[in-house]
Structure 1
């Protein structure tokens, strides 16, 4: 069996538009959110830093990388789920029945003009395959859950039951053998 690769998934810090469904809607990260991510990543030994292309994740990754004298690889496959017509709106402003159906089964009930859960997991699965060295990925809660679904074979319900607040850090030990996918090493919230 080959040696596992450490994968650190860090959710971006609190955005300025907190409290809304931020999928593809871009929002700057707050100063405190940025500081929280830098603090959370302190001490991680990584060979690469990857980020979603959205500014709330990218700003955190670039600051962490700058402190380490590293570059950042921008990978849009690590973007958040596209909430379509709901993107940028507070949950309280969305039809409660439609939102509840989405939370219960996001693949069968995607947001209007939005992305299905299976599409998110498929693109994150492809992104995960490219990670071959200890890596910090600065991303979003949905993409982190998709990685758990892909690497640990968690169901959608299992992944959505994990609380991932802003600046949450999830560390996985990932094997490349098909018989052993991943092991959760730690979760810091």
Structure 2
């Protein structure tokens, strides 16, 4: 099929702050997390590397390839006042409302779900065939929502541990998931 592109979405490696909501906070990945991403990428075929500009993704991308293009649109959801905090520290009702409807109940001072989906969808549309994107769990879920039509509840069902890879085959008018690996 003409116009088809393969894009690999790789979640960054484990961070030095596991278990926290890490949005736009610039927390680094661990050495082991970076190594996990290098191993995951070794099994993929790609010609281009794009990365979120946040350190936890950028360091993994740099370890994978030398010609990395950074794009802030691939950042994680902005968790606003919740950034860097553990879920147990937050108001349980507010957190439950966010997970139930992240578009109408975004984190205080943070980004709504549709904002994340819109910026990731725009970034995804510009990618060339055979591209590896090193990004974040929320951005991968947003890419699946935009490309495949999943709603927020459906994308939360995907388990995306650090260094997980989702490969999608994209056409101008449709997308098909071809592989999900962790």
* Structure 2: runs of 5 or more not aligned: none
RMSD: 0.8
Q: 2:97 aligns to what SS in structure 1?
A: helix
Superposed CA offset, 1:86-133 (max 9, x none):
000000000000000000000010000000000000000100111122
Cα distance between partner residues in 2 of 1:41 and 1:132? 17
Instruction: Tell me what 1:2 maps to.
Output: 2
8 Å CA contact 2:15, 2:27 repeated in 1: yes
Instruction: Tell me what 1:100 maps to.
Output: 96
Q: 1:133 aligns to what SS in structure 2?
A: coil
Q: 2:76 aligns to what SS in structure 1?
A: coil
Cα distance between partner residues in 1 of 2:156 and 2:44? 26
Cα distance between partner residues in 2 of 1:93 and 1:43? 38
Query: Shift in Å at residue 3 of structure 1?
Result: 4.2
Instruction: Tell me what 2:171 maps to.
Output: 175
Q: 2:10 aligns to what SS in structure 1?
A: strand
Q: Stretches of 4+ moved more than 4 A in 1?
A: none
Find 2:161's aligned residue among 136, 161, 165.
165
Instruction: Tell me what 1:145 maps to.
Output: 141
8 Å CA contact 2:4, 2:129 repeated in 1: no
Query: Shift in Å at residue 74 of structure 1?
Result: 0.1
Task: State whether structure 2 residue 177 is matched by structure 1 residue 184.
Answer: yes
In the superposition, the TM-score normalised over structure 2's length comes to 0.98
Superposed CA offset, 1:12-58 (max 9, x none):
00000111100011111111101100000003221110000000000
Task: State whether structure 2 residue 17 is matched by structure 1 residue 17.
Answer: yes
Cα distance between partner residues in 2 of 1:133 and 1:162? 24
Aligned residues: 182
Instruction: Tell me what 2:113 maps to.
Output: 117
Q: 1:39 aligns to what SS in structure 2?
A: helix
The 5 A counterparts of 1:36-115 are: 36-65=36-65, 70-115=66-111
